[in-house]
Amino acid sequence: MSQTIQTVSEIIARHAHLEGPLLPMLHDIQAELGHIPETAVPELAAALNIGRAEVHGVISFYHDFRKSPAGKHVVKVCRAEACQAVGANALSDRALALLGGDWHGKTAGGVTIEPVYCLGLCACGPAVMVDGQLEGRVDTARFDEILKEVGA
């Protein structure tokens, strides 16, 4: 048994007693492994007696779940309407253009850019989260500083 499958099996066992344990299992798998590996899907489906498609559907529905490991730094850009109204789309376009990547991908510098649909800073938009730290009222100059700070 691979280390990944063993880790997934241990997490499944820890949460087996819960009602509706799929989300807690997925959160713990990502916390332990940094992402939800494809090999976890059949293990979860078998343990919970549900289809692989259902497990995949939950993983793909929630934007925080990753199918591959993130970079050393994660920059999340709010894509909710309040932030879009004050310039979030320009920040997103700038980040993707400067880094030469796409959402959820890793740059050569080890930065992952992710879309987020509300960071809870609606009155202080556009908002970003950098390695878990919230930043509000981010203009393009500040965003360039943020990207430089994380090595992008």
Q: Annotated binding site, which residues? A: 78, 83, 118, 122
What angle is formed at CA 60 by the lines to CA 87 and CA 137, rounded to 5 degrees? Answer: 20
How far, in Å, CA of 52 to CA of 43, rounded?
Answer: 9
DSSP-derived 3-state class of residue 40: helix
Sign of CA dihedral 20, 26, 27, 28: positive
* Contact by Cβ (8 Å): 96, 102: yes
What angle is formed at CA 89 by the lines to CA 147 and CA 141, rounded to 5 degrees? Answer: 40
- Angle, helices 22-33 vs 40-48, to 10°: value is 150
Q: Which residues are annotated as a binding site for [2Fe-2S] cluster?
A: 78, 83, 118, 122
**Token pair recorded at residue 145:** 């500083």
